[in-house]
Chain A
Amino acid sequence: MTVHQTASGYNFAYLDEQTKRMIRRAILKAIAIPGYQVPFASREMPMPYGWGTGGVQVTAAILGSGDRLKVIDQGADDTTNAVSIRKFFEKTSGVETTTHTADATIIQTRHRIPEKTLTADQVLVYQVPIPEPLRFLEPRETETRVMHALEDYGLMHVKLYEDIATHGHIATTYAYPVKVEDRYVMDPSPTPKFDNPKMNDCAALQLFGAGREKRIYALPPHTKVVSLDFEDHPFEPTKFDHACALCGATHTYLDEVITDDAGGRMFVCSDTDHCEERRAEGHRGELLGEAPAAIAGAAE
């Protein structure tokens, strides 16, 4: 953990206080109506749209000088965009950063929920590309807003049913739609459906920011979040046939890493912090000690 000097010429955490207030109002409204997408006046940020500007604005609006920030992308702290966003907040706010899930008060994430169970004093901020779960069924915002207002989710159920008719099961593996407190259908952001159960009854506050689409939504602590399914085709989280090659975990989400051009591959935890902690506790996977440093994380 390191403390950095704040960049001069910019306000704490980049955004001016007016803008932060505007975002906080949107966040409060989102918390008051779980799963509802609140429009907000998203700003141009110094990183591109689609690269986490929504999450960055939410984090900037809630960040205080006493916070400890963790940023992950694909579950890992050392992916380039996670490094870039973490550096941005180090530079503009000077807050402490950490890679340890348990030590963080705010965790900004893209595409994953940490494996370690989150606690009541933590906030998970998701980067969201397309906040509208109905968007690929109905491209018009003017239409989908009416559908949410009328709780008209027939189209979504038809889509899931058609999956079953075609494939024998629901063929959605990530951004798997959920229903929040029996009311709003919500996009969990493109997290794998493996992570969906972690959203339900979560002790931490979960905030979702979509910068380009100018929407914020939220799950207050201990909100009921149910993955959409049918009685005879219940929701099933992804399961892996492998254990993590580094830490031996059998309960985590795994990345497939191609190791050569002859079909060689290994499976490793996508949550790098969780994997490293397990190894520190003495858990050993099959290939620990043999895997390249870029994957095992020893060289950095």
Chain B
Amino acid sequence: MYVAVKGGERAIDNAHRLLAHARRGDPAVPEVAPAQIREQLTLAVDRVMTEGSLYDRDLAAIAIKQARGDLVEAAFLVRAFRSTLPRFGASEPVDTAAMQVARRVSATFKDIPGGQVLGPTFDYTHRLVDFLLEAGADVPEPARAPADETAMPRVTDLLGHDDLIERNPPGDPDAPVPDLTREPLDLPAGRDLRLQNLARGDEGFILALGYSTQRGFGRTHPFAGEIRLGEVEVELFSEDLGFAVPLGDITVTECQMVNQFKGSATEPPRFTRGYGLAFGHCERKTMGMALVDRALRAGELGEEVKAPAQDEEFVLMHSDNVQATGFVEHLKLPHYVDFQAELGLIREIAGRQAGDEPLKEAAE
């Protein structure tokens, strides 16, 4: 019965106790430790850090455990923790060209300076359930080779030398960095703000929107110019010292899409860019992000805006899964005051129609 929701404090306390019990599962099975999640469910940790907008593998691992593996709930836990942290500055831009690359592939050139590096990827695995994992077999050592000292320039930079792709606008080191988490989203948004939004946006939502552009809803003719995964150094400019000091390394995935562009009245035909960057190893997310980034540039490039992925307000207002899950799930909260008002209205209308039209019913 719906009145049961007037349960009060004891019901809530008991629900929380039951939740903790359900989280633990069968006590005969060893409890999972956050360190195991951090080391063995790394892609879940990466997603939670990305959508939680906080690079902290240990915190994300605890959140995943606390959330019983619900990654959206885990991202929410990380976000709520994040909002209590003080903000002491913005880092220098990270240089992904100087990345310690663990994986790097290009779909536009067969060979590139620094080579193609497959790295740890599911791409060419056959998706056969590996029952050896059930028993826990020894893992063979990975193949090793001496580190290659060849530089790995970004593919889009190579294209840029020949002026075949649009130039990135020059960075202005003095320009303020907009911060989605500290200011309300104001539309129309600049590309920097849009990319912030997409980076923390729900992986499934971004994926589906990117997919929709491939199927013709805002087609952008993309090529995966380059996807690279590895460690980059984060630096913070210190006012006291007068120079940037390294804070540490983070792992990121970067995707640069190269898209056809047929030119406009003022611009010659050349390739254009779509960009994706996120914490950890998350190619699906960054590729979707790069597709949506390019689609959202339709207005800027003089293309007709007609597909959902090109619609800035639609995309930016609905990408955040912490917001979305909260509002969708708030329908679980009692609404009986409003429902009562609607019940009264429906009864009134039904009553009036029953009273107004007895003859019509009789004639039939």
Contact = CB atoms under 8 A, between A and B. Distances in A.
Contacts of A171: 345, 349
Contact of A79 (B317, B334, B352): B334
Interface in B158-195: 181-188
Contacts, number: 144
A112 B345 CA distance: 18
Which of B6, B325, B341 neighbours the largest number of chain A CB atoms within 10 Å of its CB?
Answer: B6
B343 interface: yes
Interface in B1-41: 1-9, 11-12
A161 interface: no
Contact of B333 (A51, A212, A214): A51
B337 A270 contact: yes
Interface string B309-337: 00001000100001101111110011111
B327 A129 contact: yes
Contact of A141 (B317, B330, B337): B317
A42 interface: yes
Given A16-B86, A83-B9, A87-B9, A49 B341 contact: no
A74 B341 contact: no
Contacts of B183: 41
Interface string A191-224: 1111000000000000000001011000000000
Contacts of A212: 323, 326-327
Contacts of B334: 73-74, 79-81
Interface in A109-133: 110-112, 129
Given A73-B333, A192-B338, A256-B340, A49 B322 contact: yes
B348 to A, nearest CB: 9
Given A39-B186, A44-B322, A253 B337 contact: yes
Contacts of A155: none
Contacts of B82: 44
A258 interface: yes
B184 A214 contact: yes
B153 interface: no
Contacts of B5: 79-80
B80 interface: yes
A193 to B, nearest CB: 7
Nearest to A143: B313
B76 interface: yes
A257 B1 CA distance: 9
Contacts of B184: 39-42, 214-215
Contacts of A87: 9, 12
A38 B345 CA distance: 33
Interface in A234-260: 238, 240, 253-258
5 contacts: A74-B337, A81-B333, A167-B349, A192-B338, A255-B337
Top 10 nearest A-B pairs (CB, nearest first) are: A49-B326, A50-B330, A48-B326, A173-B341, A50-B327, A214-B184, A44-B79, A39-B184, A174-B338, A50-B326
